[in-house]
Amino acid sequence: MAAQSTEFPAPVRPSAESLPLESSLRQLYPDDIYPNGKCAYFASPNGRVRYWIVGPTEGAQVVLIHGISAPSIGYQNITAHLVEQGFRVLLYDLHGRGYSEITKTPSDVNLYTIQLALLLQYVGWHNAYIVGFSMVKPAQLRPSSDPNSLPLKVGSAPFLTLILALQSLYQIRELQAKAFRGYQQLIQHDLRFGPITGLEVAFKALASPLPGKKEPLRVLIVHGTEDDIVPFTEAAKIQAAVPQAQLVKIEGANHFLVFQEGYWQQVAESISKFLS
């Protein structure tokens, strides 16, 4: 049997942190995008993770998790709204996006589950509301070792994209692809094997109570009726899989409803109302 050597620590792909401050990506997406709060790095075994914490220290804790390609910059308006409502918000870049590194190994749903679990442990958050968009798989956020670690869950259909102008969204994607070798392969790998696959099973998992609990987690679904990327009919399927879920229908909104003026406000208000 041939022996295999394991390099430790595992080699990582660089993040935006490795680029010059004057680079186009860092000019468009500076690392202090969320001011007046704590911004730092967490030395995860799977690569350094950039995170931000904003809002009053006594506020209820909310974690915002971005989608498959663009980093946390997309949550600017939602973050400002939640902070204004008194919430304390944690944001971070998923491995391989923005300012977070990723190891040079294939990723799967467990990579992002572990990333969230370790980050919450690192910052000392034992209870939090979870708001996720697009690739965030509901079942990946169900605690396995500690059933009380995430007492309230906000699952989502594809309800949050970017608040930036669409042109800026495409710019960030293109700049990441140009700056980081392997970025496109990472996205393609996640599309095939990552947390956006097997969603039916994931959503059904939310219908059952956590160990030691009598009631299942509360779930909110926010979906635009004119979404041409993930049709609105998918929201009904999710609700069927998660009977206790509350569905908020945003009339006329497409997949980029948070980018659209007049729609992102409805999304933000729906989230804060649900969390309150």
pLDDT given for residue 42 in this prediction? 93
Q: For residue 126, count other CB atoms closer than 10 A to its CB.
A: 12
| Residue 81, pLDDT score | 94
Domains and CATH numbers, the chain: 12-197 (3.40.50.1820)
Cis peptide, bond prior to residue 243, ω within 30 of zero: no
Give the number of other Cβ atoms within 10 Å of residue 22's Cβ: 7
Amino acid 2 reads A
CA distance 9 to 15: 17
What is the pLDDT at residue 124? 93
Q: What is the pLDDT of residues 54-96, one digit of tens each?
A: 999 999 999 998 876 678 877 888 899 999 999 999 999 988 8
Q: Which residues, given as ranges, of the chain have pLDDT below 70?
A: 1-9, 68-69, 105-109, 134-180, 182-199
Single-letter residue type at 244: Q
Q: Contact 60/89 with Cβ under 8 angstroms?
A: no
Identify the CA nearest to 134 among candidates 153, 161, 171, 154.
161
Sign of the CA dihedral running 182, 183, 184, 186: positive
Instruction: Give the DSSP per-residue string, 101-165.
Output: -EESS---HHHHHHHHHHHHHHHT-SS-EEEE-TT--GGGGS-SS-TTS--S-B--SS----SS-
β-bridge pairing 129-132 and 61-65: parallel
